[in-house]
């Protein structure tokens, strides 16, 4: 069996991990959030790249529970870092351009003060007398470290898992410090299920007879079994069921012969035993208790209102990333963060990356082309450096009935009042929004389902939130935008009424364009030839494979609006082949319609 | 906080659990599958109801890992059983009609011989010298018990989780013994993820210093912490994330004050601590090791070929039930069982019950109206007792363009050759299949998505497998049926070509009926009135809410078949309003078409 069974980005360890670690003893006393204080706190950290003269290229990377300051290798001879795929020269977090700082966490055991450090008051290790620390305390230590380094503002903070908790805390507590935040695979607080796994892990440590109330440092060994058990549980939760099936199912009864005293009947057992035993060699059980409790106590609230309040002070730009296969920090929780940010009018992009890799996805190369490039584009936008290569416009929208020119975009652009805030549903790679940007609109945002198009939008320096229109606009509160655009998408959604309702909930005015199936050429297809009207005939879709599943005419949509008490402000009918507006019998002569609608008759903003 | 926080069907314990337990010492020696033997095996069991004179009403209930013989209360004064909601007078497993036997498992600790029993060779408890037993060994003990009770054939075997493993083993090893099997929330073998949780739990027990190599029976206490840790892990896996959120999120920081020595910072922690401690009082750690290892070793294979071979000998009728929110025994694994059964031409029904309750769903009342009634209907069918109340025919199929009379059914029934095997896709409550049944067809089966309709089909004594046509017919192998019917459903599926391909893969001949959108009335709607043809006008669907999303004409479908190399054997065109067959210009004059198709020109069965 290949040795890669035992490789996990989270676990690549280094022969001499401390080679590039710097450390500093902070001045003064650290008052802790939950009471108590620490003095003489040491912070271990590593840096990469150079702080520029303007001091505006600093990026803070926050590690997860078992990580440390060694985020990446410093040179070819160096030991691997835990995030080499993301941080380094030419990588998404490009150390040729950015000054990257990665400190070890307060309470940890890799150089920063933690329970294994000597308590100056007793001359002995703190052990269980180490106070309960919070994510806020960890962030305060990081802030003091940055001040020590002469940094007063960060370009960005990036963190996954509990690293994401730190990033969220930075953004909400120190809004002046940070221009952009990338929380990855994280949450406003743990689910009760995830909390439960942590509780079991801590119980395994606390009830290990070798725990000795936490003062095991002078004993032959500590609560090694308990810590290994906690780590085994952790490993299961970091992977997905699919990933474990792929890794272990084929050789289920052929375990590795690893030199550990755990059950080795199954291949997955030898893996867990190995991971558990290895963790004990490099991690301190008291630190594990301290860090996991800090993570479990992190809580920005659970209701939409609490979360909106929690993010009220944040002023940075956001890129929120989750992974579809992550069940420890499930995507819904990232979605909650996005909703709270949107409620505060924040500039936020969000993508839920399709992945089978579980929580570990953010440490693995499998989905790097998506999330890594999103990170790169976001940092580019923050640093106002034009991207090396802006992607060309996307290929023709597959549901379009048009060849090249988007006559509808011309008209929609004219219809939107100057300065209006705009949400474009199904924004693609952001062509319409990019046009509006030139008109200096105050708030522009897109909604898109496709990961690649989201990345393209990010490369256009746009904010775009991933959502499936058929599931509504749950991330958005009511009346958040002046105009909401649904351009040639209505005919491809299943629940038309729900989508229109969502539009008119989130936007004061809706602009809807759709192909008119009563266009004379389409009528003829059915009436004379007895064939289904080909909604996208020029693209050669057939009745059985077209993405268009709703067939409406201008007259039908008029009826719909009347019936649903939707006010129609404008109707524009186009013959896009001729490139002209149609005034005479539009339901017969137009192949495309644009409606400006709202829930009620209203004065402002006056559309068109 | 309500005490129900700590209630779980899996854990209702009884003050005097042994009151109704009977036991028998089996004659002879039990040779074990993996080597070794046991003599003088005691089996503890409970029975409910009466064995009838024909001895054909015996139902075996197999319990899960922490269950026992007390499946239900014997009378009002009795302690609760672990499945009172399903087993009892008038319940789905009606003890007024059936003779129910529930034995405690070999290797357990509730009366049947297990590691805590005295080893006759040493006069001491077996402890770790108790041999490794398999699910097959457990079933053999059950079989000998039944023989002792004078039973030679079972009406049915029901089991959830590892109880399902026993049921599967019975059906495959002792096909003559059983008429019907109901495996619930089970699998052909554990996923690697589920296996991993078991491994961690066993490690916690084995490495507990109080384990003493398994000989802890004469010590003040055993590996209580390890067993409690294993139980805590188990409890997390029995619940779903959603269920835990609902149970614990609101009061996350208000733990119960339970008298246990585990962490009690969070409400979920107090729950787990309580469950862990309570389990130690009633369960033996060596039994837990024995039973969980038997479960982990259970393996019917992982490939479709291995599974098909595993079920080759089975001859019973099947009702397979899974729960959508079960991540310990995920529905895909039940689906694998169904596929293997279908590959063997078994009579099988399957439903994946929509549920947020996790693996525990089969023990909880939340979804009882679905799975309980399916069990009842299946047992009714097995025992050939007509149901007390056969459900009336379902309301009109919502995608139908017809009022009452199903003229298409008349014609389809005529088209199917006598004796042909038939699969009806989207069978509803089985009206068409029920008609065919009267014609004595040799194999009839339905596919349906809706749980309620599946139940209605079961009540018609039909076999029906739950599936979403848009996801294909993955459970079915190629050419399993002579005729496959897709009646007025084509226009409501998204991926038309895939569905037709699946039809013609699974059936030798396909019979497809669909509304003709070139019917003159529909043409006029678009041509003259400029309105979207109302595909289901008589039911008052609108363009924006109709389930019909594909608009095809007879000419279109003809083209489609030509283009995709599908042979058309028959075209029947109907005017269903007039109730007549149309021969002249059917694409104009028919509102419904029936096509008989196959992948290639073929001789048999000659349709029509």
| Closest residue on chain B to A552 (Cα) | B532
Tell me: the pLDDT tens digits for A40-72? 999 999 999 999 999 999 999 999 999 999 999
Residue A366 has pLDDT above 90, yes or no: yes
Distance CA B168, CA B311 (A): 9
Percent of chain A surpassing pLDDT 70: 91
Average the pLDDT over B181-204 and give the result.
98
Chain B: give the shortest CA distance to residue A443, in Å.
31
Contact B509, B592 (CB under 8 A): no
DSSP class of residue A601? Answer: -
* pLDDT interval class at B113 (50, 70, 90): very high
Cβ within 8 Å, pair B530-A552: no
**Per mean pLDDT, which range of A407-411, A602-606, B155-159, B585-589 is the poorest?**
A602-606
Chain A: give the shortest CA distance to residue B559, in Å.
10
Residues of B in contact with A197 (CB under 8 A): 236
Q: What is each CA distance from A514 to A492, A509, A552, B303, B346, in whole angstroms?
A: 10, 16, 8, 48, 50
Distance CA B186, CA B163 (A): 8
Cβ within 8 Å, pair B247-A192: yes
Cβ within 8 Å, pair B232-A262: no
Q: Where are the beta strands (DSSP E) in B404-531?
A: 422-425, 444-448, 463-466, 481-487, 507-515
Handedness of CA A149, A150, A152, A158 (dihedral sign): negative
Contact B82, B10 (CB under 8 A): yes
Q: Which of B244, B265, B496 sits opposite A544 (nearest CB)?
A: B496
Distance CA A341, CA A463 (A): 12
Cβ within 8 Å, pair A530-B554: yes
Cβ within 8 Å, pair B588-A302: no
Residue A406 has pLDDT above 80, yes or no: no
Residue A608 has pLDDT above 80, yes or no: no
Residue A186 belongs to what H/E stretch? Answer: none
pLDDT of amino acid A602: 54
Percent of chain A surpassing pLDDT 90: 83
* pLDDT interval class at A152 (50, 70, 90): very high
3-state secondary structure B110-170: CCCCCCCCEECCCCEECHHHCCCCCHHHHHHHHHHHHHHCCCCCEEEEEEECHHHHHHHHH
Candidates A321, A331, A447, A324; CA nearest to A378 is A321
Average the pLDDT over B560-575 and give the result.
96
Please give the positions of B annotated as active site.
161, 326, 359
- Please give the backbone phi and psi of residue B223, each rounded to the nearest 5 degrees, phi first: -75, 65
Residue entry with tokens 């006069």: B123
Residues of B in contact with A496 (CB under 8 A): 543-545
Cβ within 8 Å, pair A193-B241: yes
Average the pLDDT over A284-296 and give the result.
98
Question: CB atoms < 10 A from the CB of B395, how many?
Answer: 8
Helix (H, G, I), strand (E, B) or coil at A182: strand
Q: Which of B239, B293, B532 sits opposite A517 (nearest CB)?
A: B532
Chain B: give the shortest CA distance to residue A368, in Å.
25
Cβ within 8 Å, pair B560-A554: no
* pLDDT interval class at A11 (50, 70, 90): very low
Cβ within 8 Å, pair A551-B551: yes
Candidates A575, A146, A547, A183; CA nearest to A346 is A183
Cβ within 8 Å, pair B555-A529: yes
* pLDDT interval class at A359 (50, 70, 90): very high
Residues of A in contact with B249 (CB under 8 A): 191-192, 302
Residue B454 tokens read as 């599946």
Residue B18 has pLDDT above 50, yes or no: yes
Residue B536 has pLDDT above 80, yes or no: no
CA dihedral of B160, B161, B166, B168, whole degrees rounded to 10? 80
Chain B: give the shortest CA distance to residue A545, in Å.
7
Estimate to the nearest angstrom the gap between the alpha carbon of B225 and the chain centroid: 35
Handedness of CA A454, A455, A460, A465 (dihedral sign): positive
Residue B367 tokens read as 């979804």
Residues of B in contact with A357 (CB under 8 A): none
- Per the prediction, chain B carries an average pLDDT of 91
Q: Which of B191, B299, B496 sits opposite A245 (nearest CB)?
A: B191
Pairing label, strands B178-184, B154-160:
parallel
Residue B315 has pLDDT above 70, yes or no: yes
| Closest residue on chain A to B264 (Cα) | A199
* pLDDT interval class at A26 (50, 70, 90): very high
| Closest residue on chain B to A253 (Cα) | B297
| Closest residue on chain B to A330 (Cα) | B241
pLDDT of amino acid B385: 58
Residue A561 tokens read as 């609006």
Tell which CATH classification among 3.40.50.10310, 3.30.70.20, 3.40.50.150, 3.40.50.2000 matches the domain B389-598.
3.40.50.150
Residues of A in contact with B232 (CB under 8 A): 196, 199-200, 203
Residue A361 has pLDDT above 70, yes or no: yes
Residue B124 has pLDDT above 80, yes or no: yes
**Per mean pLDDT, which range of A206-215, B302-311, B534-543 is the poorest?**
B534-543
pLDDT of amino acid A232: 98
Q: Which residues contact B421 (CB under 8 A, 6 or more apart)?
A: B441, B442, B443, B444, B445, B480, B481, B482, B483
The CATH number assigned to the domain with range B8-297 reads 3.40.50.1820
pLDDT of amino acid B16: 52
Average the pLDDT over A108-126 and give the result.
96
Distance CA B87, CA B360 (A): 17
| Closest residue on chain A to B524 (Cα) | A527
Residue B1 has pLDDT above 50, yes or no: no
**Per mean pLDDT, which range of A80-84, B400-404, B588-592 is the poorest?**
B400-404
Residues of A in contact with B299 (CB under 8 A): 252
Percent of chain B surpassing pLDDT 90: 84
pLDDT of amino acid A601: 60
DSSP H helices in B427-508: 431-438, 451-459, 496-506
Residues of B in contact with A521 (CB under 8 A): none
| DSSP string of A525-588, one letter each residue | HHHTT-----TTGGGT--TTT-S------HHHHHHHHHHTT-EEEEEEEEETTTTEE--SSHHH
Distance CA B126, CA B106 (A): 13
Contact A216, A228 (CB under 8 A): no
Average the pLDDT over A349-371 and give the result.
97
Residue B6 has pLDDT above 60, yes or no: no
Distance CA A139, CA A62 (A): 9
Tell me: the pLDDT tens digits for A185-215? 999 999 999 999 999 999 999 999 999 999 9
Cβ within 8 Å, pair A195-B526: no
Candidates A275, A290, A276, A282; CA nearest to A225 is A276
Percent of chain B surpassing pLDDT 70: 91
| Closest residue on chain B to A250 (Cα) | B302
Distance CA A535, CA A400 (A): 9
- Please give the backbone phi and psi of residue A43, each rounded to the nearest 5 degrees, phi first: -120, 125
Distance CA A184, CA A156 (A): 13
When scoring B197, B204, B529, B555 by the number of chain A Cβ atoms within 10 A, the one with the most, hence best to mutate, is: B204
Peptide bond into A248 cis (omega under 30): no
Residue A387 has pLDDT above 60, yes or no: no
The CATH number assigned to the domain with range A387-598 reads 3.40.50.150
Chain B: give the shortest CA distance to residue A221, in Å.
14
Residue A396 has pLDDT above 50, yes or no: no
Residues of B in contact with A195 (CB under 8 A): 248, 252, 266, 268-269
Pairing label, strands A29-31, A37-39:
antiparallel
Distance CA A381, CA A316 (A): 12
Distance CA A9, CA A198 (A): 21
DSSP class of residue B331? Answer: H
Tell which CATH classification among 3.80.30.10, 3.40.30.10, 3.40.50.1820, 2.60.40.10 matches the domain A3-297.
3.40.50.1820
pLDDT of amino acid A401: 44
Chain B: give the shortest CA distance to residue A548, in Å.
8
pLDDT of amino acid A442: 79
Contact A22, A47 (CB under 8 A): yes
Distance CA A156, CA A204 (A): 37
pLDDT of amino acid B602: 54
B304-342 b/e with 16+ CB inside 10 Å = b? eeebbbbbeebebbbbbbbbbbbbbbbbebbbbbbbbbb
* pLDDT interval class at B322 (50, 70, 90): very high
Residue B275 has pLDDT above 80, yes or no: yes
* Per annotation, catalytic residue among A8, A69, A117, A161: A161
Q: Which of B192, B203, B553 sits opposite A531 (nearest CB)?
A: B553
**pLDDT: is B537 or B51 the higher one?**
B51
**pLDDT: is A440 or A459 the higher one?**
A459
Chain B: give the shortest CA distance to residue A230, in Å.
9
Distance CA B530, CA A234 (A): 62
The reply to whether A387-598 shares the fold of A3-297 is yes
Cβ within 8 Å, pair A207-B225: yes
pLDDT of amino acid A535: 55
Residue B218 has pLDDT above 90, yes or no: yes
| Closest residue on chain A to B293 (Cα) | A265
Residues of A in contact with B272 (CB under 8 A): 196, 199-200, 203
Q: Which of A229, A533, A552 sits opposite B200 (nearest CB)?
A: A229
Contact A41, A75 (CB under 8 A): no
Chain A: give the shortest CA distance to residue B281, in Å.
18
Tell me: the pLDDT tens digits for B453-500? 999 999 999 999 999 999 999 999 999 999 999 998 999 999 999 999
Distance CA B537, CA B399 (A): 10
Residue A586 has pLDDT above 80, yes or no: yes
| Closest residue on chain B to A293 (Cα) | B265
pLDDT of amino acid B508: 96
Residue B346 has pLDDT above 50, yes or no: yes
pLDDT of amino acid B601: 60
Contact B23, B111 (CB under 8 A): yes
Residue B397 has pLDDT above 60, yes or no: no
Contact A491, A550 (CB under 8 A): yes
Residues of B in contact with A560 (CB under 8 A): 542, 544
Residues of A in contact with B262 (CB under 8 A): 199, 203, 206-207
Contact A541, A548 (CB under 8 A): yes
Domain extent listing, chain B: 8-297, 389-598
A326 is catalytic: yes
**Per mean pLDDT, which range of A299-313, A351-365, B110-124, B518-532 is the poorest?**
B518-532
| Closest residue on chain B to A534 (Cα) | B551
Cβ within 8 Å, pair B206-A252: no
- Per the prediction, chain A carries an average pLDDT of 91
Predicted-complex ipTM score: 0.93
Chain B: give the shortest CA distance to residue A196, in Å.
6
Q: What is each CA distance from A461 to A317, A377, A443, B178, B278, in whole angstroms?
A: 11, 8, 13, 67, 57
Cβ within 8 Å, pair A192-B330: no
The residues that bridge with A574 in the sheet, in sequence order, are A581, A592
């Amino acid at each position: 069996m290949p040795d890669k069974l035992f490789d996990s980005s989270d676990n690549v360890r280094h022969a001499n991990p401390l080679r590039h670690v710097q450390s500093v003893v902070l001045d003064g006393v650290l008052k802790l959030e939950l009471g108590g204080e620490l003095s003489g706190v040491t912070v271990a950290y590593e840096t990469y790249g150079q702080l520029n003269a303007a001091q505006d290229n600093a990026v803070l990377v926050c590690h997860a529970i078992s990580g440390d300051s060694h985020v990446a290798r410093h040179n070819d001879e160096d030991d691997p870092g835990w995030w080499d795929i993301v941080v380094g020269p030419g990588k998404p977090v490009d150390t040729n351009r950015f000054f990257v700082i990665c400190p070890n966490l307060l309470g940890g055991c890799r150089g920063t003060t933690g329970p294994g450090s000597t308590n100056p008051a007793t001359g002995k290790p703190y052990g269980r007398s180490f106070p309960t620390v919070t994510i806020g305390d960890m962030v305060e230590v990081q802030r003091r470290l940055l001040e020590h380094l002469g940094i007063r503002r960060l370009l960005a903070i990036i963190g996954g898992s509990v690293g994401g908790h730190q990033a969220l805390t930075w953004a909400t507590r120190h809004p002046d410090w940070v221009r952009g935040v990338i929380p990855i695979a994280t949450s406003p607080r743990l689910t009760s299920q995830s909390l439960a796994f942590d509780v079991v892990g801590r119980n395994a440590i606390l009830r290990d007879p070798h725990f000795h109330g936490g003062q095991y440092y002078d004993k032959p060994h500590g609560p090694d079994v308990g810590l290994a058990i906690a780590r085994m549980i952790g490993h299961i939760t970091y992977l997905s069921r699919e990933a474990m099936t792929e890794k272990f199912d084929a050789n289920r009864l052929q375990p590795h012969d690893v030199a550990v005293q755990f059950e080795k009947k199954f291949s997955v057992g030898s893996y867990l035993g190995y991971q558990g035993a290895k963790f004990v060699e490099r991690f301190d059980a008291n630190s594990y208790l301290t860090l996991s409790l800090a993570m479990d106590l992190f809580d920005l609230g659970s209701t939409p209102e609490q979360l909106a309040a929690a993010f009220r002070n944040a002023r940075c730009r956001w890129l929120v990333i989750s992974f579809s296969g992550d069940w420890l920090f499930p995507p819904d929780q990232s979605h909650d963060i996005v909703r709270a940010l949107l409620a505060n009018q924040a500039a936020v992009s969000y993508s839920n990356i399709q992945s089978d890799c579980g929580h570990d996805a953010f440490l693995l190369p499998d989905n790097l082309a998506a999330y890594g490039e999103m990170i790169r584009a976001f940092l580019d936008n923050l640093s106002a450096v034009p991207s090396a290569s802006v992607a060309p416009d996307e290929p023709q929208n597959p549901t379009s009935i048009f060849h090249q020119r988007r006559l509808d975009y011309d008209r929609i652009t004219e219809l939107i009042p100057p300065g209006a805030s705009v949400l474009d549903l199904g924004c693609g790679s952001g062509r319409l929004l990019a046009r509006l940007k030139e008109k200096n609109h105050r708030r522009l945002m897109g909604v898109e389902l496709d990961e690649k198009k989201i990345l393209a939008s990010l490369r256009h320096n746009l904010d775009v939130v991933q959502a499936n229109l058929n599931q509504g606009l749950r991330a958005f509160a009511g009346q958040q935008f002046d105009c909401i655009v649904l351009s040639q998408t209505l005919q491809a959604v299943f629940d038309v009424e729900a989508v229109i309702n969502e539009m008119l909930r989130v936007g004061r005015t809706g602009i809807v364009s759709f192909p008119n199936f009563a266009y004379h050429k389409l009528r003829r297809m059915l009436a004379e030839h007895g064939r289904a009207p080909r909604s996208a005939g020029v693209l050669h879709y057939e009745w059985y494979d077209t993405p268009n599943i709703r067939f409406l005419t201008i007259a039908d949509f008029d009826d719909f609006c009347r019936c649903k008490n939707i006010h129609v402000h404008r109707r524009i009918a186009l013959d896009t082949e001729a490139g002209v507006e149609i005034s005479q019998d539009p339901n017969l002569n137009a192949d495309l319609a644009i409606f400006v609608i709202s829930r009620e008759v209203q004065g402002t903003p006056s559309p068109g």
